[in-house]
Amino acid sequence: MSAETESSTPKLKLGALTALVVGSMIGGGIFSLPQNMASGAGAGAIIIGWAITFVGMLALAFAFQQLANRKPEVTGGVYGYARAAFGDYVGFNSAWGYWISAWIGNVAYFVVMFSALSFWFPAFGEGNTGLAIVCASALLWALHFLVLRGVHGAAMINTITTIAKLVPLALFIAIVLFSFKIDTFNLDFWGSADLGSIVDQVKSTMLVTVWVFIGIEGASMFSGRAQNMSDVGKATVIGFLLTIALLIAVSVLSLGVLTQPELAALKNPSTAYVLEAAIGTMGANIMNAGLVISVGGALLAWTLLSGETPYLAAQDGMMPKVFGKTNANGSPAASLWLTNSMIQLFLIITYFNGSVYLSLVYLATSMILLPYLFCAIYSLMVAQRGEGYKAGESAAKDLVVAVIASVYGVWLLYAAGLQYLLLSMVLYAPGLLFYVWARKEQGQKPFNGGETILAALIVVLGIYAAYGLSVGTLSL
């Protein structure tokens, strides 16, 4: 894209950036949250899980804000920060992992959307029947061609759908609050014996809570398109505070309408059946309709985000040049074609493999844990070095925030467990081919120093995990 075309492309203001953050986080996840959280934890553990998530994700949000303020020259969000901290190959893997998380997340969104539509059209089943996959594919390519018409126009539509999706959620919270029964909430407050220890229950909530917060970096991913860099950090924190208030309310209040075992047994989107228990069939109609609107907006936001990632990496020579090209409307066309082709492939795999929403959620979440940790560590490095601070300005507050965010990132890896870390390597390993391709285009050696060891480790772990999947010792 020429400098003239880029300068004439409308920039994103605070409202649009905030809507991208909220729109990215509030998608299908929140509508399935009551069942997802209750499937492995009682009320007490769920509250502890949210407390840990609040502190950790708030620290991560502030870390993104700190980096936007102290390192405005580093664009590309998750990818750019990892590259600045640890070099090209780690930066590439951060972009690759984030990208895969984004499009697998879109597959999960398609599944839960058509699962919701099955309330009126039973042929859609759990969202992975033949008819559901055909209709999901049609919607996928409709969104694809919409985004090809221009990122700014798509962002405006995302702002409208973000506002629209908040209405049914606000209605849900009001009705469930009115229907809340303290006796139901207190029943088996710390969970039954079959759920395991409190620590095990809290760990079971972690991948779910991270899943509903994926998108917190949405504004930083579009920092290069922002009208003011200071708005990037503001949008991240405003979007986080609004979103976590909604998530906690939906999750915790539902435990006062149905018991933990009842919630765990619900079909997704579970909010529909919670509201059905509160006010009857009309409640299910409201929430299923709300989910369709919400997921439609989230799919648009994540089509934008997932298409932007290979484009940004290609701009810096970390992905092949073809993915760094834009069309006349300023959209990263080749990147979008690659991204949506992968979504199409996984939709077909979902049909034949019978994958369900929660399995896709766990896989998508596992792919983004390392990129988030890299960003937290980079914010720690920036604060320690005092980079971007005025003379005499203290970095103490930023240092504390960065430490908390980094510890939270390590905790997430522990909570996810070895299985999902190994499964993520199956998807990280093929990225090596794209990286080597890009480096050859740049006339550079593929690896420097310890990067060779890291690449070999990823490939070995990927092969081991693939073997585990083939013989059944590993599974989603």
pLDDT of res. 274: 94
> Token pair of 440, please?
């050859």
406 contacts 81 by C-beta, under 8 angstroms: no
Query: Cis omega before residue 261 (within 30°)?
Result: no
Give dist(CA 467, CA 476) in Å, integer: 14
- Percent of the residues in the chain that have a pLDDT greater than 70, as a whole number: 90
- pLDDT value at 70 more than 80: yes
pLDDT at position 310, please? Answer: 87
Residue 156's pLDDT band (boundaries 50, 70, 90)? low
pLDDT of 69 over the 50 cut: yes
Name the token pair of 441: 């285009």
Residue 147 makes CB contacts below 8 A (sequence gap 6+) with: 154, 300, 303, 304, 307, 331, 336
Residues 6+ apart with CB under 8 A from 392: none
Judge if pTM exceeds 0.95. Answer: no
pLDDT tens digits along 205-218: 988 888 777 767 65
- Residue type present at position 357: Y
pLDDT at residue 27 tops 70: no
Q: Please, what is the Cα angle at 263 between 278 and 280, to 5 degrees?
A: 20
At 29, list the tokens: 């996840």
Of 43-47, 62-66, 300-304, minimum mean pLDDT range? 300-304
- Domains annotated for the chain, with CATH where assigned, are 12-420 (1.20.1740.10)
Collect all residues with Cβ–Cβ distance below 8 Å to 227 and sequence separation of at least 6. 11, 12, 13
